[in-house]
Amino acid sequence: MVDDAEVREVRFSRGPLTFRAVDSGPLHGEPVVLLHGFPQRTSSWDEVVPLLHAAGLRTLVLDQRGYCATARPRGRRAYRLSELVRDVVALLDSAGLESADATSAHIVGHDWGAAVAWGVAAAHPDRVRTLTAVSVPHPAAFLRAMIASDQLLRSWYIGFFQLPWVPERVLTSRGSRPTRALAGMGMTPEMIERFRREMVADGAVPGGLGWYRALPFASPRGATARVRVPTTFVWSDRDPALGRGGAVRTARYVDADYRFVEMSGASHWIPEERPAELAGEIIARVRG
């Protein structure tokens, strides 16, 4: 585990919103930004972070828009991908990366965090040393898979999340429905309890759903932008939400060194299920 002395908190603002990130590991190590997905918080990276530190890397784990208690704006447009991307750039501007002789970092994202990571790499390649995307493929590959594979059926919940109020009521109810739904996605009882504590009890569910509700306002140009930084894409073959169609098409949209890693037997929650393997792939990409 990392020494308490090596854990630093970064706070920065964008307009009226104040964000928090956990900055830990060797201060002069190569910086790695870790972006969580839905319905999770920074703790989803807890098993991966110490392994990166052991390899000499510095980590910055961002509590993202809608999740962080001081960064929960109202309105769907506030959660457009372009805003989420700018939040990461603001973190890079605020994290004191000059001490590492640069204002760029290695970007790693899982689930929705991967979508943001793809967006940062496409729009700000000068700020991204390398990209490791986990579970979610390049946006253009995902959209193509919606037409050419079973991805549309797998993504039924995206339509459900567009409804007002109902998804919040279902996900925050005290009955067995949310437990069954999350367990069906591969979450363990410990992960479900963490969801209740960090998402439901802390009031983060509406903000997390805001990311889905902003999808109708997404820029088509942003969804098709090619990535020109060294990239690793990690996908698991038992992910009920994301099929092989988007995974195998992602290579078409990366104009740089690219590696596709398929984790056999893992569900959607790769950072928790396969932390050592995932950390190994991140380290290999950073050093590559």
The yes-or-no verdict on residue 17 having pLDDT over 80 is yes
Q: 222-238 pLDDT, tens per residue? A: 778 999 999 999 999 99
- Asked if 237 contacts 263 with a C-beta cutoff of 8 angstroms, the reply is yes
Q: What is the pLDDT of residue 176?
A: 84
State pLDDT tens for residues 18-72: 999 999 999 999 999 999 999 999 999 999 999 999 999 999 999 999 999 999 9
> Residue holding tokens 């910055």?
60
pLDDT at 204: 98
Domains, the chain, ordered by start? 4-287 (3.40.50.1820)
Q: Output the average pLDDT for the chain.
A: 94
**pTM for this structure?**
0.96
Are residues 10 and 91 in contact, defined by beta-carbon separation less than 8 angstroms? Answer: yes
Residue 210 structure tokens: 């805001």
Q: How do residues 110-163 score in pLDDT, each as one tens digit?
A: 999 999 999 999 999 999 999 999 999 999 999 999 999 999 999 999 999 999
| Omega within 30 of 0 (cis) for the link into 39 | yes
Write down the pLDDT at residue 175.
80
Report residue 98's pLDDT band, with 50, 70 and 90 as the boundaries.
low
